[in-house]
Amino acid sequence: MAIVLGPNRYGKAETRLVRVSRDGDTHSLADFNVSVSLSGDLAETHLTGDNSGVLPTDTMKNTVYAFAKKHGVGEPEEFALLLARHFVATQEQVFAARVSIESIAWERLGPHSFQRKGDYTRLASIVVTDEFEQVVSGLTGLVLLNSTASEFHGFPRDEYTTLPETTDRILATAVDARWRHLSASTDFTKSYAGAVEAMTSAFVNTYSYSLQQTLLSMGSQVLSQRPEIAEIRLALPNKHHYLVDLSPFDLANDNEVFIAGDRPYGLIEGTVTRDDAPPAAAEWYL
């Protein structure tokens, strides 16, 4: 038996980049949080501290800023591809580069004035090797709520089950979603906007008997409207809204007054996919 080094990678996480583009007096803004991670022939630094293959993470940071100037940034998927291709192409000992970007949205208030949108965060996560390029897009923190049109009943009851059945409840969730593209050449602006719109309208328009049913509806809607997307993963916390018992105060509560709970929460996770989609080339995560 021997103790051996297994899979490993390293990089620079959370390089904060704000890129201003000036079209005369009218400015536009990209606000990215960029994380780079490289893997390849990197055992030596673990084994002996020989760093001859270890491009400094400080250099990755510099590259983010230099590339933002030289090439502009575009959509997060595009900037991530640009960076990932660079590291694989220029560092012989690097076989795979993963670049993940959080993109913070700003709303225009004037030619050079902006207000940050805090509703949710757009995500992109790219893996590039010599053999393939895999593009995953996503978002986190999109909170949606239906104040009715949600039921939950017909579930099995064991000795620890006390939950009453309900035919009218609040259904709320904070959408965390990632979707894998079929190709690295896509109109990512249009694709992202379309995926968000598909998810949101599916949530709004599904009369729901379980959050699982809503999840499948959201995922299916994205795939049916966006042919460029191979599969989608959704993690939907069930943000419970508990009906307050007002009977001690001689008050009825017809689904009007709720406690918004923090913990615990239900958590529904699922993948929706095309049955003919090629398998993922690299691990991807929700």
Q: How far is CA 279 from CA 85, 193, 228, 276, 283, in A?
A: 21, 25, 14, 9, 10
Contact criterion met (CB below 8 Å) for 198 and 255 = no
Which of residues 103, 129, 134, 210 is near a second copy by CB under 8 A?
Answer: 210
Nearer to a second copy, 46 or 190 (CB): 46
Indicate whether 2 belongs to the interface with a second copy (CB under 8 A): yes
190 is annotated as an active-site residue: no
Please state the closest distance from residue 122 (CB atom) to a second copy, in A: 13
User: Total number of residues binding a second copy (CB under 8 A)?
Assistant: 137
Indicate whether 71 belongs to the interface with a second copy (CB under 8 A): no
Q: How far apart are CA 149 and CA 32, in angstroms?
A: 37
Contact residues for 260 (Cβ-Cβ < 8 A; gap 6+): 239, 241
Q: Which stretch binds a second copy (CB under 8 A): 77-85, 132-140, 181-189, 213-221?
A: 213-221
Tokens coding 36: 């780079």
Q: How far apart are CA 100 and CA 135, in angstroms?
A: 10
Please state the closest distance from residue 225 (CB atom) to a second copy, in A: 11
Q: How far apart are CA 228 and CA 191, in angstroms?
A: 8
**Of 181, 239, 240, 241, catalytic:** 240
Q: Which of residues 242-261 bind a second copy (CB under 8 A)?
A: 244, 246, 248-249, 251-253, 255-261
Q: Which stretch binds a second copy (CB under 8 A): 18-26, 77-85, 130-138, 180-188?
A: 18-26
Which of residues 95, 184, 212, 282 is near a second copy by CB under 8 A?
Answer: 212
Contact residues for 14 (Cβ-Cβ < 8 A; gap 6+): 33, 34, 35
Which of residues 24, 70, 278, 279 is near a second copy by CB under 8 A?
Answer: 70
Which of residues 74, 85, 194, 265 is near a second copy by CB under 8 A?
Answer: 265
Please state the closest distance from residue 133 (CB atom) to a second copy, in A: 22
**Of 57, 59, 140, 273, catalytic:** 57
Q: Which of residues 175-194 bind a second copy (CB under 8 A)?
A: none
12 is annotated as an active-site residue: yes
Which of residues 85, 95, 140, 270 is near a second copy by CB under 8 A?
Answer: 270
Indicate whether 89 belongs to the interface with a second copy (CB under 8 A): no
57 is annotated as an active-site residue: yes
The sign of the dihedral angle between the CA atoms of 30, 123, 86, 9 is: positive
Which of residues 85, 149, 281, 282 is near a second copy by CB under 8 A?
Answer: 149
Contact criterion met (CB below 8 Å) for 219 and 138 = no
Q: How far apart are CA 219 and CA 198, in angstroms?
A: 8
Beta strand 133-146 with 121-129: parallel, antiparallel or unpaired? antiparallel
Tokens coding 93: 């000992």
Catalytic positions are 12, 57, 240
